[in-house]
Amino acid sequence: MKSFKKSLFAVFFSIVLLMTACSMTLSTEKVGQVKDSNDEITESSGAKDSEDTEEEKEIAASKGAKDMINISYTDFYKDKYRPQFHFTPPRYWMNDPNGMVYYEGEYHLFYQHYPYDIKWGAMHWGHAVSTDLIHWEHLPIALYPDDIGFIFSGCAVVDWNDTSGFFKGGSGLVAIFTHAGSRQMQSIAYSTDNGRTWVKYERNPVLIEENLKDFRDPKVFWYEPGKYWVMVIAAGNHVRFYTSPNLKEWEFASEFGKDEGSHDGVWECPDLFKLPIEGTDETKWVLVVSIGANPGVPEGSRTQYFIGHFDGKRFINDNSKETVLWLDYGRDNYAGVTWSDIPEEQNRRVFIGWMSNWKYAGRTPTTSWRGAMTFPRELKLVKNEDGFIYLSQQPIAELSKLRDECLVNLRDILIGSEKTNLSVASGDLLEIIAELELETAEKFGIKVRKSEQKSQETIVGYDAIQKKIFIDRTRSGDLVEEPVIHYAPLETKDNRIQLHILVDRSSVEVFANDGKVVMTDLIFPDLDSQDVEIFSENGTIKITSLVIYKLRSIYEKHYAEEGLSISEK
Active site residues: 96
214, 265 in Cβ contact below 8 A?
no
Q: How many other C-beta atoms are found inside a 10 Å radius of the C-beta of residue 33?
A: 8
23, 17 in Cβ contact below 8 A?
no
Pairing of strands 421-426, 199-200: unpaired
Beta bridge partners of 89: none
25, 65 in Cβ contact below 8 A?
no
Distance (Å, whole) CA 48 – CA 16: 9
Q: What single DSSP character describes residue 226? A: T
Q: Which long-range contacts (CB under 8 A, 24 or more apart) does 303-309 make?
A: 303/327, 303/328, 303/333, 303/334, 303/335, 303/336, 303/353, 304/261, 304/262, 305/391, 306/257, 306/260, 306/261, 307/381, 307/389, 307/390, 307/391, 308/284, 309/284, 309/285
Helix, strand, coil % in the chain, rounded to nearest 5: 10, 45, 45
Q: Which of 548, 520, 565 is CA-nearest to residue 426?
A: 548
Residue type, 121: G
Distance (Å, whole) CA 534 – CA 551: 20
Residues in contact with 423: Cβ distance below 8 Å, sequence separation at least 6, in sequence order = 531, 532, 533
From the centroid of its chain, how far is CA 192?
27
Three-state SS at 306: strand
Residues in contact with 479: Cβ distance below 8 Å, sequence separation at least 6, in sequence order = 360, 363, 364, 365, 522, 524
Distance (Å, whole) CA 555 – CA 487: 34
Burial class (CB in 10 A: 0-12, 13-18, 19+), 29: exposed
Distance (Å, whole) CA 503 – CA 266: 31
Query: How far lies 122's CA from each of 1, 94, 176, 181, 515, in Å?
Result: 12, 11, 18, 11, 36
Query: DSSP secondary structure string, 79-138?
Result: -TTS-SSS---SSEEEEEEEEEEEETTEEEEEEEEETTSSS--S-EEEEEEESSSSSEEE
Distance (Å, whole) CA 554 – CA 168: 39
Pairing of strands 92-103, 369-370: parallel
Distance (Å, whole) CA 136 – CA 128: 6
Burial class (CB in 10 A: 0-12, 13-18, 19+), 344: exposed
